Structure 1
Amino acid sequence: MNAGSIIKYYRTKNKLTQLQLAEGICSISHLSKIESNAYSPHESTIKALLLKMGVLLNREVEKHMRLEKIIGKFIDCSLHYDLETMREIYKQLETENDYIQSTELVNQYELYKFRFYIYDTDLMKAEEQKKMLERMKASFLAPEHWVHQFFQSLYWSMMGDNTKSLEFLNSLDLGIQSIPQKFEGEFYYQKARMLVLADRHELSAHFAELAVRSFQLHHNYIRLLHAQILLAINYTRRNLLVQAESLYEVLIRNTHLTKQSVLHNQTLYNYTELLRLKNAHGEALEILQALKEKVEPDTYFYKAVLTSLLESMVEGGQNSAIQIEELKAISNSSKDQYFHIYAIYFEKRNFSQPDLMAYCEETMLPFFRKNGYIKETKNVAAELAAHYRNQQQWEKAYFYQTYDEENGGELK
C-alpha cells in the first residue's frame, strides 16, 4: 500500500492544503515527499496524518487488502470467461474508482477494465480506455507492458483488423516469460484464433493444442471449450474429418451440460461446415434453421447463421428468395458489408453465370482481399478458376488456381 498516495487522496477529499495537514506533525516539504511516495515515513507519522483527517491506518490497510482481493477476482473472472461476475464486480469497483486511483492497484485495474470493455464489445469505452492506457504505460512494470500489448491485440481483433491483431501477438512471442503462467492459455488461444482466420491451419492447431493443455492444467473449463472449438475448426479445414467429428461430438454434449448456450450455438454453427464437406446438406440445413430461430435477430451471429443457411439452401437446390431478401434488409449499414456482399452473390446465382462471375471478380474478391478474409478469398478464387477453365481462358484460370499457393494462404 502506498501510504503517501492514500494521504494525498484524503487530503484532497477533505480540501486541505499541505500546510494545513502538515501543521504540528511534519514540515511541508516532508509531507510533499510522503505524498509523492519518494519517502517512506515512520508509521507514527502516517497514523498522525491520517488521524488528523479522521482516518484510521488499520482500517485503510484492511480496505486496501479488500480491494486487492476484489481486483484479483476481477482478473480471475477475465481469465475464466465469467462475464456475468465481471459485470457485477465492475459495478462494485467503479464506486471505489477515486480511491483506487490513489493506490498502486490502479495499473491492473485500468488494464482489466480495458479487457472488460473488449469482452463486452463496448467500442466507445474500449477506445477511451485504450487512449488512457497509452498515457499510463510509462508507469507499467514488465508484466503490465506485456498484458497491455496483448489486450491491444484483442482490441484490434474486436475492431476487425486481424492483420494488426496478429502483428501485436507476433511481437509478444519472446516476452511470454514476463507474464503469470496461468495467462499462457489466453495467449495461445488468441494466437490460434488469429492464425485460423489467416488460413494457417497447421500452425493454428499447434497453438490451439497448447491452449488446451494450459486451460486443462489450470482447470479453466470454459476457455477449454473455446480452444477445443478452434481445434475442431482446424481439423475440419485440414480435412481431418474423423478427428473433427469426434471432437464436435464432445463439444456439443459438454456445452449443453455446462449450460453454455452461446458456446453451444457456436459449436453447432461450426459443425455445419463439417456436415457440408461430408455432403450432409440436409442435416446442416436442419441445424441452421433451428439456430436461426434461437439466435437473437440482427446480431452478427444471426447474420452469420443466415448466410450459412443460404449457402446450404443453394447447395440443396432449395428456393432461397425469402432468406436473400432478409439478409439484404438487415445488412444495409457499412459495418455489415460482408453480409450484404453475400446477399447480392446469392441473388445473382439465380441469374446469368457471366454476371455472377463478374461480381465475384470485381466486387467480392477485392473486398475479401482488402479486409483480410483469407478463407473467403480462396473460395472465390477457386470459383473463378473453375469458371475460366470451363471458358478455356487458361491464363486467368491458372492465375486464380495458383492464387493461394503463391500467397501461402496469407495476404501479401
Structure 2
Amino acid sequence: MLEGKIIKFYREQQEIKQKDLGEGICSTTHISKIERGLTEVSKETIHLLSERLGIHMEKEIENYKSIDSLLKEWHESIIKKLQNKADSIKKRLEGFHLLQIQDFYRTYTLILSRYHLFSGENQHAKRLIEEMEMWSGLSPYEQNMLLHINGIYHMRVNHDYFKAISVLKKISLDAYSNRECFYDLAVAYHSIHSNVLAYFYANKALQFFVEMRSFSRMIESEMLMLLQLEQSDDSNVESKEYQRLIDMAEAYELEHQRALLHHNYAYHQLRSGEFKSASELYKKSVNTRQPQDPNYLGSLEGYINALTKEGRTSKDELLQIIEEGLTLSQKTENKTFYHFFTLHKLNVNEDKKGYFEYLEDKAYPHFQEMGYVLPMEHYGVLLFDYYMEKGDVGKANVYARGLMEKFRKNNQFV
C-alpha cells in the first residue's frame, strides 16, 4: 500500500517511533502493518497519521507518481543529450522529499551518476560510483545500468578503452533495454583504432536512435560510421555525406553536432590534402564553440595544423594562436593538448632537435600512457624516420618494434 510507504518514510525522516505516531490513533502493531502494506486501513486513520506527520497524503501520492515519471524522462533526456531538459528535470526532482524513499533512491543515484558524467562533473560521478559499488541485492536492471555507467567512466575519465569494452560487453540487454551502450562500445573501439567493430556498433546504435527519434544521436552515430570508413584502406567517403549531415544539424538547430561535423569534415579534407578547406572548416568549428567546451581545444589544434600545412599564415600569427591553445590547455589541465600545442610551437619555430626531444621525452610517453593509438602510430613513424636519418638504428628499432605489433597475426604458417 502506497500510503504505508509514505507514512514510514516521513516517520523515519522525523525520527518518530511507531508507538508515538500511533498514540491515540492506533496500536504500534497496526502502524507496523500499515507501513508494510499488510492490512486494510480506513481513510480516517490515514488522515490522522498524515496530520500528525504534517503531510498531505493525496499530494504526497501525486508527488510519488510524478517522481516515477520524471526519473524515466530524466534518463531519456540524458540518453538524447538534451542538456537543458536534463538540468530542468534535475532541479524539479530535487524539490521532492520522497526522492529519498527506498523505491526511488537507487534509480535516482544511478541516473544522477549518468547526469554527472554527461555534464563533465567527473568527481561527483566517481563518488557515486564508489557508493553504488558497495550496494548489495541489486536488481538485474540496476546491475546492468551500473555496468554501463562504469564503462562510460573508464572510457571518458580514465581513457582506459580496453577496460571500458570489457565492462560494456557484460551488459545484458534482456535486463537493460538501453541500447545506447552500443554507441559507447563504438566510441571505445574507435579509440583503439578497431574500425570494423566501431562501425558495427555505431550502426546498431543508429538503429536505436532512429527508434527513439533522437536526431542529434542519429547524426553522431552516422558521423562515427563515416570516420570508420574514412580510416579504412579502401576509403571512398564523399564530401557530400558530411554536407548532408551538416545540413541536417542546421535544420534541427543542433549546434554541438554541427560543430562536430565541421571538425570531422575538416579532418577529412586535411587527409585529402585540401588544407585551405580544412582550415576554414576547423575555424567554423572553433567559432561555434565556447573556450570552456572540452572539444574547443581539438578544433583549435586542427585549425593550427591545417594553417601550418597550407603555409600561407605568418609565423607570428601561428604562434599567437598556439599560445592561446597552450594557455587554455594549462588552465583546463589538459595534458594531451598541451603536448600537441608545444609540438606545434617547436615545429613553427623550426626547432627540429627540440621537437624530437620533446616528442620522445614528454609527448610520446603520454600518448602511450593514455592508450592513444593513432598518435602513437603517427609519432612512432616520425621517431623511426628521425633516428634512421641520424643513423641510430638501435633507437629506430625501438619504435619499429612498436609499429610491427600492429601487424602481428596469430597465423600458423610453417
Normalised TM-score (structure 2): 0.87
Aligned to 2:329, the other structure's residue is in SS state coil
2:166 aligns with 170
Aligned to 2:237, the other structure's residue is in SS state helix
1:212 aligns with 206
**In structure 2, C-alpha distance between the alignment counterparts of 1:77 and 1:46, rounded to whole Å:** 38
Change in CA separation of 1:58 and 1:363 when aligned onto 2, cut-off 3 Å:
closer
Residue deviations 1:138-188 (CA, integer Å, cap 9, x gap): 2421111110121122233332x121x54244234243234343x11x110
**In structure 2, C-alpha distance between the alignment counterparts of 1:220 and 1:294, rounded to whole Å:** 21
Report 1:76-225 matches (<5 A): 76-96=76-96, 98-135=97-134, 137-159=135-157, 161-163=158-160, 166-181=162-177, 183-184=178-179, 186-225=180-219
Q: Percent identity?
A: 19
**Does the CA-based 8 Å contact 2:21-2:49 persist in structure 1?**
yes
Change in CA separation of 1:381 and 1:244 when aligned onto 2, cut-off 3 Å:
farther
Residue 93 of structure 1 and its aligned partner are, at CA, apart by 0.5
**Does the CA-based 8 Å contact 2:255-2:288 persist in structure 1?**
no
Number of residue pairs matched by the alignment: 400
Change in CA separation of 1:305 and 1:172 when aligned onto 2, cut-off 3 Å:
closer
Change in CA separation of 1:340 and 1:56 when aligned onto 2, cut-off 3 Å:
closer
Range that drifts further, 333-342 or 364-373: 333-342
Report 1:273-288 matches (<5 A): 273-288=267-282
Residue 116 of structure 1 and its aligned partner are, at CA, apart by 1.1
1:328 aligns with 326
**In structure 2, C-alpha distance between the alignment counterparts of 1:238 and 1:46, rounded to whole Å:** 70
1:31 aligns with 31
**In structure 2, C-alpha distance between the alignment counterparts of 1:56 and 1:328, rounded to whole Å:** 58
2:248 aligns with 254
Change in CA separation of 1:225 and 1:47 when aligned onto 2, cut-off 3 Å:
farther
2:258 aligns with 264
Tell which has more relative contact order, 1 or 2 (C-alpha 8 A, sep 6+). 1
Aligned to 2:201, the other structure's residue is in SS state helix
Residue 57 of structure 1 and its aligned partner are, at CA, apart by 5.4
Aligned to 1:279, the other structure's residue is in SS state coil
Matched, 1:346 2:344: yes
Change in CA separation of 1:46 and 1:398 when aligned onto 2, cut-off 3 Å:
farther
Change in CA separation of 1:172 and 1:275 when aligned onto 2, cut-off 3 Å:
closer
Change in CA separation of 1:180 and 1:123 when aligned onto 2, cut-off 3 Å:
closer
Aligned to 1:325, the other structure's residue is in SS state helix
**In structure 2, C-alpha distance between the alignment counterparts of 1:16 and 1:267, rounded to whole Å:** 58
1:19 aligns with 19
AA of the residue aligned to 1:74: W
Aligned to 1:270, the other structure's residue is in SS state helix
**In structure 2, C-alpha distance between the alignment counterparts of 1:238 and 1:260, rounded to whole Å:** 28
Aligned to 2:133, the other structure's residue is in SS state helix
Residue 13 of structure 1 and its aligned partner are, at CA, apart by 5.5
**Does the CA-based 8 Å contact 1:192-1:205 persist in structure 2?**
yes
**In structure 1, C-alpha distance between the alignment counterparts of 2:3 and 2:202, rounded to whole Å:** 44
Aligned to 1:176, the other structure's residue is in SS state coil
**In structure 2, C-alpha distance between the alignment counterparts of 1:298 and 1:15, rounded to whole Å:** 45
**In structure 2, C-alpha distance between the alignment counterparts of 1:359 and 1:353, rounded to whole Å:** 10
1:234 aligns with 228
Range that drifts further, 276-285 or 201-210: 201-210
